[in-house]
Structure formats: C-alpha cells, structure tokens
Structure 1
Amino acid sequence: MTGPSDPTRSGPPVPPKEVSEVQLSRNEIVALGTKAARGAGMEWGLAEEAGTAAGWLASMGLDGAGALLDQLQLAAGKGWPHICPVVARGRWRSAGSDPICPIALGATLCDFADLPEGIEDGDGLIIGPVSQPVLLLPFLAEIARRKAVLLELGWDDGTVLIGGSGQIDGDLAALHHANRILLRLSRRAGHGTWQDPAALRPISRQTMQKLTELAMKTTVPSTEASRAGAGAGTQDND
C-alpha cells in the first residue's frame, strides 16, 4: 500500500474508483510500462523496449498499455529461452509450447533486419505463433524507417501496413484483439494510404492499477532501520 507522499510509489497515482480512464503523457506511459515489465521479470533492456512500445502505440491511438499488461501477465516469470524466437531463414518459430513474446521478437527482428534470416529475403517471413502481436508494430516501424521500405504484416484475418515515416494503417482493431497467431511479414511495393494520426490513447484505471502493482516490485519499501537513518546526522541552525 502507498500513501499520498510515499517515496516508493512508482509513477502517477492511480485515479479514484469513479474515474474509468486516465490520460497519461507518452513519457509517463513509457516509464510506467518499463517499470512494470521489469517488475514482471523482464531484463532491463527488454523492459525498456516494452515501455517504449506501449508509449508508441498510445501515441497512435492504440491501447499499448493494455496490450503490454496482457503480455506481462501471460509471460510472467518466463526467461528468454521461453519467449524468444528460433531464427531460421523464412520461418521463425517459438522455442517451445509458449508463443513468442512480441517484445523479444521485435528486438530480434531489428537485430536481423539486414541479414538473410530477416526481411532481406524477398519471400518474407512466417513467424509464430506470437502473443499480443500489436506490440510488434513499433519495432516494425523502426525497421521500415531504417531501411526506407514499406512493410506488410499479415495474418488470417487481416493485414497492417507500416511505412518508413512511422505510419500504420489497416486492420489495426483486429490485430489489437488478436493473440497467439501466425504472422506473415514481407516487404511491399508502392506507397500506403495513411490515416491522420490519432490522439494519445488514455488507459483504463484497472490497467494503470495493475501496471503500478507490477512496477512496485522494483522498489524497496522503507523499514524502521532506513527511516531511523534518514536525514542529516548533525544539527544545522545557521
């Protein structure tokens, strides 16, 4: 439990019960998502990627915080061998029975972007199954920007286009609700028809509360010993 001025509190205070949504800045979402991912057991590097992805999606009008929370709950306590992709030319698969984590997948795709095992292959990639695949979009936007290409992410129920200037369009709502799906990633010729950027997406009170609970695991609560040693050791009456 935290009080109004508790120094262990992580991020903005959770709103009262009568408030259903709260508007955080992109930076606040990034910070909260990073700490929550670390609290759920992610290494700091991946946790930072996770927070950045949540903030990027919110800036595109998508519920990145909610998608991140779902992913953290699914993969809580699982290490890299359980969530990483097994890389092979043309087909990336999960290491076991668990779906590939989109954060681990996105980071790996960025690492392999210029290699034959990545999207350099003209036939593209079959990847999956992948959990919470909407979290993959920020990484694909970075690859598209870096390589100045148009990417297409497809699955059985739709497609999403990702442009080199960070634009996204397509079946975004369907992708947001998809989970544990097989993906097709490829380059696409031509130019996309882009929608105007959406407003920064607010997050639900429940999502914020659960992310804050995970973020609190990165803090060390105060103790009698720490409180007794706080403050100056001598008086200063000047």
Structure 2
Amino acid sequence: MSHSLNEIEAMSKRAARGAGLSWGMAEEAAKGTRWLSAFGLSGAGLLADLLDLNDHVPFEEVSPVSLTSDMWRAPSDRMSPLIAGASLSDCAVRLQERGAIDMAEVSFPLLAVPFAGGAALRLGVVVAVEWDGARLATDGQELCVQGSKDALEARHATKVTFTAPAEMTGRSEPVMRADVTPQNWARLSAFAHRTFAPATEESRLLGAGAGLSDND
C-alpha cells in the first residue's frame, strides 16, 4: 500500500507516542521512519516491531548506561536504536573526535541509521553505520546501502559501529512516497489508537448526536 512520507511520519509519531515514548522521542522516531521509508527501506515495519518488543519496558532499561565508555551498553542488553541514535546525534562532535562509537546489543539497528544522517549534516562529513552483514553510509541527504535484506532488517545486532568521516561508494536519493504493508499499517494504527482519550459520559453528551436528550 503506497503512502506519502507525510502520512508515514504522522502515523509513526502517533504510534510511538501511543507506545509510551515522550513526544520528543516520538517525533524523532517518526522522522527516522520517514527517512528510511524515503530510501525504500522498511522503516514502518521495523518501527512496529520495535514498539512491540519494548512495549511496557522501562525507558532506562533500553538506554545507554554511559555515553563516555568505549562500548555503549543498556542495562537489559537490549538497546533501543531510537534512544541510542538520538544520543549519538547529540554526541556528533565526540564521534568526529574519536572517529568511532560502538554500541552493544542493539535491537533493529537499521532504525538508528537516520540519526547518523542527522550527525552527518551537523558535522558536514559522511557517517557510516555497520553491523554484521550490513554497512550504510550517508551525508544526511543521500544514502549508500550494502547488505542483504535479512542483514539490514536484523532484529538484533551484537555490535553496531558508527564511524566519521567515512566513504560512500554509491548513492541513492530519497523519493516522496513509500509502500507500507496493510499489516504493518494496522500495527502502527493499534499503537496510535492508544493516544485517543477514552470516551466519558460528559464527552458523549457533548459529542455529535442527541446524547440522552429526546428531540422527537
């Protein structure tokens, strides 16, 4: 099913918020999902997978314990690519100074790649992201993708490495629409539905229709 990138971003933001992410993190998740979708990657499907995986999991359990250690780790050994990616973007200058930042036990690592794009734009250099069987490099506007579909959509990566500056050996440009399967759209919709306030007697009376009154 084809959707505009605006539709994908809006649905992803609402779904991420419905899954318990803060509005700020939900916005980051939505922008990242849009960014991946623009390059023909399964951003929406992977976001739905991640929201399922971390549903009701405390934020602290999937966040990096320290941003200054040689290897970033989460207490649960299951790091959120959204939280880790946002932290990486905030540490863009440190990435350039060190040349590389390593992360351990990252869930759905492809979802961290858009944050490399943000870091690339801030630094003005190409940033690469690598894990077993996959390498992606971006200057923030174009993307070079290497790896099989299975490697790119891996549910878990033992180690993810961000490097800067890096090289791009091929480039693809973003498009304005992307395909999302009806199943993945429905999964995101289910999370998005959580953001709707449950109906109360007062809201029903103030809503459309006659409520409890009788106009006959």
Pairwise TM-score range, normalised by the shorter structure: 0.7 to 0.9
Q: Cα–Cα, structure 1 residues 191 and 36, in superposed 2: closer, same or farther, change >3 Å?
A: closer
User: 1:135 and 1:202 mapped to 2: Cα distance?
Assistant: 17
Tell me the equivalent position of 2:214. none
Which range moves more in the overlay, 201-210 or 156-165?
A: 156-165
Structure 1 residue 201 and structure 2 residue 178: aligned? Answer: yes
Structure 1 residue 143 and structure 2 residue 123: aligned? Answer: no
Tell me the equivalent position of 1:212. 189
Q: Percent identity?
A: 32
- Does the 8 Å contact 1:152/1:160 carry over to 2? yes
Q: Cα–Cα, structure 1 residues 111 and 206, in superposed 2: closer, same or farther, change >3 Å?
A: same
Tell me the equivalent position of 1:13. none
User: 1:230 and 1:33 mapped to 2: Cα distance?
Assistant: 27
Tell me the equivalent position of 2:149. 173
Tell me the equivalent position of 1:184. 161
Tell me the equivalent position of 1:101. 80
Matching residue within 51, 61, 65 for 1:82? 61
Tell me the equivalent position of 2:211. none
Alignment of 1:40-79 (within 5 A): 40-79=19-58
Q: CA RMSD in A?
A: 2.0
Unaligned runs of 5+ in 2: 209-216
Q: SS of the counterpart of 1:114? A: helix
- Does the 8 Å contact 1:119/1:185 carry over to 2? no
Q: CA deviation at 1:78?
A: 1.8
User: 1:199 and 1:229 mapped to 2: Cα distance?
Assistant: 40
Matching residue within 8, 11, 14 for 1:32? 11
What amino acid is aligned across from residue 90 of structure 1 in structure 2? D
Q: SS of the counterpart of 2:177? A: coil
TM-superposition CA deviations, 1:71-105 (whole Å, max 9, x none): 000111122211111222432112x2341101101
Unaligned runs of 5+ in 1: 1-21, 232-238
User: 1:229 and 1:25 mapped to 2: Cα distance?
Assistant: 34
Matching residue within 143, 153, 163 for 2:129? 153
TM-superposition CA deviations, 1:102-145 (whole Å, max 9, x none): 11011101111123xx34203x1221211011111111011111
Tell me the equivalent position of 2:110. 134
User: 1:140 and 1:223 mapped to 2: Cα distance?
Assistant: 44
Q: SS of the counterpart of 1:78? A: coil
User: 1:67 and 1:90 mapped to 2: Cα distance?
Assistant: 27
Q: Cα–Cα, structure 1 residues 100 and 171, in superposed 2: closer, same or farther, change >3 Å?
A: same
Q: Give the TM-score, by structure 2 length.
A: 0.86
What amino acid is aligned across from residue 43 of structure 2 in structure 1? G
Total equivalences in the alignment: 206
Matching residue within 71, 83, 99 for 1:91? 71
Q: Give the TM-score, by structure 1 length.
A: 0.79
State the structure with more CA Rg: 1
Q: SS of the counterpart of 1:218? A: coil
Judging by fraction of residues, say which structure has more helix: 2
